[in-house]
Amino acid sequence: MPTSGHGSGGSTDKRDLTHGGVRSQLVRLTLPLIGGVSAIMSMGLVDTYFVGRLGPRQLAAMGFIAPVMFTFASVGIGLGAGASSVIARVIGAGDEARVRRLTTDSLVLALLIGAVAAALGLLTLDPLFRALGADAEVLGFIREYMRIWYPALLALLGPMVANNILRANGDSLNPGIIMVVAAVANLILDPVLIFGLAGFPRLGLAGAAWATAGSRVMSLLAALAILHFRERLISFERPSLSELLRSWREVLAMGLPAAGGRMVNPIGIGVVTAALATLGPSVVAGFGVATRVEMFATIPMRALAAALAPLVGQNWGAHHRDRVLAALRESIAFCALWTVVTAVVCGLFAGAISRAFSEGPVVVQTASRYLWIVPASYVGYGVVMVGAATFNALGRPMVGLVYYGLRTIALYAPLAWLLTARYGTWGLAAAAFIANALAGLVAWLYSTRRVERYAYDECVPRPNLSIAE
């Protein structure tokens, strides 16, 4: 476990982000995250690619499953963010015993939430997906996958929290390696288990679920091994109930709003999926392909948003508010540049990208229309992400929750219902474009003006960044 590198004479610790070029620090922080996030995101693309070889009905099932998977992943991201935030600050205070207690209690919380979520998921499997619009045939494929995936939730949430704890301890390399190894394992296991290669039985859609579960279990075991044997951060001492609840309260104080912000998007996708279900399973499948590609295309912006947290937090604590403003401006500029690149690539190759997942004409048409139009609005989505990340680091996570809610719940979901009913899949693409653009405009105006005010108005009180009591 690293000790604090901040002394009275200034810090030479590489993790000191209060000095040096803001742009170079953002690049240094973002690049490793791109690799790890890419590896995890690729698992969804790999699943979609191989499941697409089974047929359009199986691919449609994955379209219905996607928002549910994203929702639970959002819970893991929020828990990880909460654990990382609290533990990093305790590390800075030098309380090693408390760090071990928080690490252990955070992992127990993740496993407990995973177990409860798995039980609830299995109990509500059919009603939930019927409400999303799945017909009887597609529902059969959904059952085939989710009866394996739900119990594996324990292995989904655990690695997310464990890897964030490792990052809080200054280790970004091993979490990246763990994520890459998990992605490679999924890439190998998917075709073997789905199509019955190398002497294994052909499991179809269930094979994709087993591949995901297996790779996640590997991730969990690897992260726990590093935390226990190298970092010595897992405690086997039984805490008192009050101590356990205190740890959980501290983690959830930051984790719940972060999880809420992340959950808004998949919930909105679920609402949109229900609207598209009236147009047929092939349209749902095409939308599923488009959203998977979108997740991959926005990885650099997602990684940048994650990289902002330590930079903004450290400089805010050191009262270098001008550097916080500079970091926000640099991030917004990158989002604009990346949007141009993504819009050009998707505009030129939308058809080829879509056909890589399915040859079904409706699937390809739906995904292509989305990829022709929506990527040009990614700058708005990026500003929402970096704005939310900035305010999370400032101890105001509710601002990020409002940003995500505005984009997805207030704009995207209702517009998708209205425009899809009138204009079909063109209306879907228009709804996403408008939601990204308007939410991004609001996030840009509020974030920049508020941080400018913080930077230049010393009368504005600094948010309380202390650990929840």
pLDDT digits (tens, 9 = 90+) for 209-229: 999 999 989 989 999 999 998
Q: How confident is the model at residue 93 (pLDDT cuts 50, 70, 90)?
A: low
Distance CA 178, CA 180 (A): 6
Distance CA 96, CA 117 (A): 31
User: Which residues in 123-184 belong to E strands, given as ranges?
Assistant: none
Token pair for residue 98? Answer: 């408390």
Quick check: 187 pLDDT over 80? Answer: yes
Q: Which residue has the higher pLDDT, 469 or 198?
A: 198
Q: What are the angstrom distances between the C-alpha of 29 and each of 66, 74, 306, 311?
A: 29, 22, 9, 9
Q: Is 461 a domain residue? A: no
Amino acid making up residue 453: R
Q: Which pLDDT belongs to residue 7?
A: 39
Could you give the number of structural domains in the chain? 1
Q: Is 178 a domain residue? A: yes
Tell how many helices (H) and how many strands (E) occur in the chain. 17, 0
Q: Which pLDDT belongs to residue 120?
A: 93
Contacts with 97 (C-beta within 8 Å, 6 or more apart), sequence order: none
Contact 83, 165 (CB under 8 A): yes
Distance CA 212, CA 45 (A): 12
Distance CA 178, CA 217 (A): 11
Contacts with 119 (C-beta within 8 Å, 6 or more apart), sequence order: none
Quick check: 401 pLDDT over 70? Answer: yes
Q: Is 140 a domain residue? A: yes
Q: Is 236 a domain residue? A: yes
Q: Is 227 a domain residue? A: yes
Q: Which pLDDT belongs to residue 12?
A: 42
Distance CA 131, CA 238 (A): 43
Count of Cβ atoms closer than 10 Å to residue 333 Cβ: 12
Q: Quick one: what percent of the chain has pLDDT higher than 70?
A: 90
Q: Which residue has the higher pLDDT, 7 or 65?
A: 65
Q: Is 325 a domain residue? A: yes
Mean pLDDT of 394-422: 90
Q: Which pLDDT belongs to residue 468?
A: 39
Contact 94, 3 (CB under 8 A): yes
Quick check: 206 pLDDT over 70? Answer: yes
Q: Is 379 a domain residue? A: yes
Give 414: exposed, middle or buried? Use CB within 10 Å, 0-12, 13-18, 19+.
middle
Q: Which pLDDT belongs to residue 458?
A: 44
pTM confidence score: 0.73
Size of the chain, expressed as the number of residues it contains: 469
- Mean model confidence pLDDT for the chain: 84
> How many Cα atoms occupy the beta-carbon half-sphere of 316 within 13 Å?
27
Mean pLDDT of 317-324: 78
Quick check: 332 pLDDT over 70? Answer: yes
Q: How confident is the model at residue 168 (pLDDT cuts 50, 70, 90)?
A: low
Quick check: 314 pLDDT over 80? Answer: no
pLDDT in tens, 48-83: 888 888 888 888 888 888 878 878 888 888 888 788
Count of Cβ atoms closer than 10 Å to residue 271 Cβ: 19
Distance CA 416, CA 48 (A): 23
Q: What are the angstrom distances between the C-alpha of 336 and each of 30, 57, 201, 239, 375?
A: 16, 37, 48, 49, 11
Query: Residue 85's closest CA among 443, 405, 319, 396?
Result: 396
Of the listed ranges 264-273, 311-320, 356-365, 429-438, the least confidently predicted one is 311-320
Distance CA 383, CA 406 (A): 13
Quick check: 173 pLDDT over 80? Answer: no
Q: Which pLDDT belongs to residue 372?
A: 96
Q: Is 159 a domain residue? A: yes
| Domain hosting residue 113, numbered range | 22-456
pLDDT in tens, 299-311: 999 989 877 876 7
Amino acid making up residue 247: S
Contact 391, 397 (CB under 8 A): yes
Count of Cβ atoms closer than 10 Å to residue 181 Cβ: 15
Distance CA 105, CA 102 (A): 5
Of the listed ranges 298-312, 332-346, 448-462, the least confidently predicted one is 448-462
Q: Quick one: what percent of the chain has pLDDT higher than 90?
A: 39
Map tokens 């982000």 to a residue: 17
Contact 416, 271 (CB under 8 A): yes
